[in-house]
Chains A and B, each alone.
Chain A
Amino acid sequence: MQASSALRESLVTGGKTVADVSQDISCQVENKPSRLWWMAFGTSLVLLIYGGYCCWMMLWHGIGMWGLNKTVGWAWDITNFVWWVGIGHAGTLISAILLLFRQRWRMSINRAAEAMTIFAVICALSFPAFHMGRLWLGFYWALPLPNAFGSLWVNFNSPLLWDVFAISTYFSVSLLFWYMGLIPDFAVIRDRAVRMGHMTRARVYNALSFGWDGAAKTWMRYESVALILAGLSTPLVLSVHTIVSMDFATSVIPGWHTTIFPPYFVAGAIFSGFAMVLTLLLVTRKVFKLEDYITIYHVELMNIIIIVTGSIVGVAYITELFIAWYGQVPAESYAFYNRVMGPYWWAYASMMTCNVISPQLFWIKKIRTNLVATFVLSIIVNIGMWFERFVIIVTSLHRDYVPSSWTMFHPTMYDIGQYLFTFGIFFTAFFLFAKFFPVINMAEVKSIIKSTSEKKNSSAH
């Protein structure tokens, strides 16, 4: 039994019934896509094709096509990698951590957020893969497989190798979690197709649903699997960005080897992830007319998480500066002085404005319940989080120990092209998902309809 509080706002508006949920969500899959969808999908394909050309050129000629030089050996490539991995974190936070905390508002947003996680991790994975220069050998070298050199094994002491395991496990387990959630909803579409006489569609969705029947015994096992997957995903998601931060934190580069990196990176990841969830959901909600399922209340709650994580990130920035001064290590102090006052001051200033100052606007209720303001701020936050990674990576490297090797980093069209390529992958995949898969978890929303839908519904029974 579920008790509902009169103080809580309803999670589903418009007096929806259980049957309405099936109808509203499944019809998006069943109907022909709208013109708007074709336009959005077409734009993503253009990005994918242009980016694909740049990636091909880079594979053909090598990563010398990037703007790297002998001082700045890591730049956009790892910036984009960390940025995309971070974005992925919100999906797992919503589906796993909020499940463990029994937050029911996650139910209408978790499907799309998890899809975002998976596509973002694919985008992230493309960067280290391309960085290896020769993709095919890279995969072979990164895994502990027997080989003709001895066998010469991979170095398990290296955080870069931990990353291989962390990101690939994260990707596989997130995919599994997302797919498990989709199984009952595929069966809904299958049975609707049977009733409408579309047998081909019914067969396809039956295969996707693994022949789901919704028996009480299956549901019991299914719920147990979901709970344990949530329990496994929670430490997993925290470990992933912790390990990503160790790529920097275990090095000896001033500006990188700080102990606050793991929690600071995890908070930043959730911060940017929620911003991306908002960007995507505000569009999806409009295009697919899901205003009754993704309500202003949902948007407001996500904005509150943005304030919390944005403030944690702000505290981390200030702590870094304080420790750099208080630690009295000249190289470390200089790295931070250079970040704020050096030639990349504009990147640092953008980061501070976008990440620390702009989310504070959400303290005002009018702003955090305004969709246009939320949309604009969500994009600003993501720009800020990109600059955060750029600042950490490039400003710590470009002024090396020897002033004769001081330099600046200038991206080439291939750096930019590869970044656009990942946007192409991300949006193409997301629009395909939104067309062919149910964008809201129907089974979960149905289970809370009675207790959280507006009162109009309960009087109907």
Chain B
Amino acid sequence: MASKENYLVGIFDDEDVLLHAVENIRDKGVKIKEVYSPFPVHGLDEALGYRRTRLPIAAFLFGMTGTITALSTQIWMLGFDWPMIIGGKNFFSIPPFIPVTFEFTVLLSAFGMAGTFLVVSDMKPYKWPRMYDNRSTDDKHVMAIDLGANKISKEEIRQILKSNGASEVNEKSF
């Protein structure tokens, strides 16, 4: 029993009710493990106190890597490794190198960021996620509260959830 994790799972039908509930429940000192929604609820991340994601920084760094790689590769190949006379043009000239540099920047930035997203969110094809209530991908918002991490008693939390608009409160152990 001790090794089991026990959760109280609150089900909410409406995103506005959920948003107020998250604020009130956190004010009461209850720690919320996570909230699962069928669609992005704006303001939920702030209500839960999450820090802004740093994925844009990752996207920028990957993009810069792309820019530098593409530009230096082109300059090295056509400027130094094998200069070719093509219509009497300069061996080394930046403007014709811009399209490929731009495309490569976009490519690395997009795939780098998406890859980072999958890694930080621990998403992979062979992983079966822990679903507290699988209606959370249909039409319910599901709030999971880890009883082990909270000092407040189960019954009290159940009361708080009910009074904040949860349509159901269930128990779930893993």
Contact = CB atoms under 8 A, between A and B. Distances in A.
Q: From DSSP, what is the main secondary structure of chain A's interface residues?
A: helix
B137 A188 contact: yes
Interface in B115-147: 117-118, 120-121, 123-131, 134-139
A9 interface: no
A162 B100 contact: yes
Chain A interface residue count: which class?
A: 35 or more
B5 interface: no
Contacts of B82: 150-153
A461 interface: yes
Nearest to A444: B39
A217 B45 contact: yes
10 contacts: A150-B82, A155-B84, A162-B100, A165-B99, A173-B111, A194-B134, A222-B117, A229-B114, A232-B106, A443-B38
B85 to A, nearest CB: 11
A224 B125 contact: no
B104 A169 contact: yes
Given A188-B138, A208-B125, A172 B111 contact: yes
Interface in A204-226: 206-208, 210-225
Contacts of B99: 159, 162, 165-166, 239, 243
B104 A165 contact: yes
Contacts, number: 197
B91 to A, nearest CB: 10
B117 A217 contact: no
A184 interface: yes
Interface of A: 1-2, 17-19, 22, 144, 150-153, 155-157, 159, 161-162, 165-166, 169, 172-173, 176-177, 180, 183-184, 187-188, 190-192, 194-195, 206-208, 210-225, 228-229, 232-233, 235-236, 239, 243, 442-444, 446-447, 450, 461
Interface residues of B, number: 65
Nearest to B60: A228
Contacts of B39: 18, 184, 219, 443-444, 446-447
Contacts of B104: 165, 169
A191 B134 contact: yes
A18 B139 contact: yes
A173 B36 contact: no
A184 B110 CA distance: 19
Given A188-B137, A214-B37, A233-B110, 19 more contacts: A17-B139, A157-B87, A165-B103, A166-B99, A169-B106, A172-B110, A191-B131, A206-B128, A210-B127, A216-B41, A216-B44, A219-B39, A219-B45, A220-B40, A232-B110, A239-B99, A446-B38, A446-B139, A447-B41
Nearest to B127: A211
A77 B24 CA distance: 64
A442 B110 CA distance: 23
B40 to A, nearest CB: 4
A191 B138 contact: yes
Residue among B45, B50, B93, B97 with the highest chain A CB neighbour number at 10 A: B45
Contacts of A218: 121, 123
CB-based closest 4 A-B pairs? A211-B127, A213-B129, A18-B139, A162-B99
A243 B96 CA distance: 11
A228 B59 contact: yes
Contact of A221 (B78, B107, B117, B139): B117
Given A162-B99, A222-B117, A225-B117, A216 B38 contact: no
Contact of B124 (A195, A211, A224): A211
B56 interface: yes
B55 interface: yes
A388 to B, nearest CB: 23
Nearest to B14: A461
Contact of B40 (A166, A223, A228, A461): A223
A221 B118 CA distance: 10
A177 B15 CA distance: 26
B89 A157 contact: yes
A208 B123 CA distance: 11
Contact of B130 (A213, A225, A442): A213
Given A166-B99, A169-B106, A212-B123, A19 B77 contact: no
A190 B128 CA distance: 11
